[in-house]
Amino acid sequence: MKFDLHCHTKEGSFDSKVPISEYVSKYRMLGYDGFMITDHNSYRGCARWAMMKKQSEYKDIDFTVLCGIEYDTKDAGHVLVVMPDGLYLPVFRIRGMRARKLAGIVHRHGGILGLAHPFGIPSSSAMSFKLMTRENIQCMDFIEVFNTCEKPLSNDLAQQLAERYELPGIAGTDAHNSQFIGMAATVFDTEIRCNNDLILAIKNGTGITVSGTEREDTLKGKAKEMWFSQLGYKIYNRGLGKAKMPRRKFHANKLNRGHKPFLFGNK
C-alpha cells in the first residue's frame, strides 16, 4: 500500500495552502492508498478529518487518512508522532519538550515517533542541534529517510543514519503546496487501514520501500537556508517553547497522574 507520510493541511498548519479535500482527491487520482496528516504541533487537521468522514462523499471511500503530528522538540528538531487511532494528547500541541521525554509519553500510550528530515535545515533538523544525543536517536521508532523538500545529500545521510541504528525508513513530501503532491511515497507490503496498522507495521519490521523526487530549488527554499531565517525561526520556536512551558508541564503532569486522554468525536 502506497502512502505519503508527511503532509501539512490548510486546516491544521498556518503555513499550508492545501486543504484535506485536495489531498484526498489528488492522491486517489494518483493511485495512492492514503496519506498522513502531520500538522505542526496541532491536531486541528485531524479533528477536521474526523468530521469529514461522517459526510456522505467520504464515508465509504476506499482510501486511508492517517492522523499524526509534527512536533517541535527542544533538542532534536522536528519529530513525527503517530498515536493509536483517535487518541488525542493536548500536550503535543505545546512545542518545546525534550525528545526523550516526548518518547516516554508516546511509548507509554502506545504510539511511535521518528525524526523528520534529520539532515535538513539546521533550525528544525535533529543532526544540527547541539543538544542532540545518541540516546535521542535510540528512542526513535523510525526515521524519515526521504523528504521531497530536502537535498539529495540530506536524504542520503538520513538513509545512512537509519541503517546505522537499524530503524525503518519512511518517505514524505512535507507538502505545504499542491505542486509537491505525489513526489514521495512509502510503500508497505502489508495492509494499512488505520493508525494502529501503521504502528504495528513499524514495530514489527514490515517490509517498507521508499521513493521520490526532490523538488527543484526555489527562492523560498533558499531563503529558509539563510542564516537570518534560521536565527529568526530559532528565536520564534524557543521563545514559544519557554512561554508555554507552564502549560506544557500542566498537561504532562495530568498524564503522569493517570488522567485519561480522549478520542476525537468524544470530546
Cell numbers that stand for 39 in this block = 500538522
pLDDT in tens, 228-250: 555 565 565 666 656 666 666 66
Distances (CA, A) of 221 to 86, 149, 164, 215, 216: 34, 8, 29, 10, 9
The rounded Cα 174 to chain-centroid distance in angstroms is 9
Average pLDDT over residues 48-73: 94
Could you give the angle at the alpha carbon of 181 between the alpha carbons of 32 and 96, nearest 5°? Answer: 105
Domains recognised in the chain with CATH numbers: 2-263 (3.20.20.140)
- pLDDT, residue 34, reads 98
pLDDT in tens, 184-205: 999 999 999 999 999 999 999 9
Is 4 strand, coil or helix?
Answer: strand
- More confident of the two residues 256 and 26: 26
- pLDDT, residue 86, reads 85
Give the integer Cα–Cα distance in Å for 137 and 55: 41
Q: How confident is the model at residue 136 (pLDDT cuts 50, 70, 90)?
A: very high
Exposed/middle/buried for 1, CB within 10 Å: 0-12, 13-18, 19+? middle
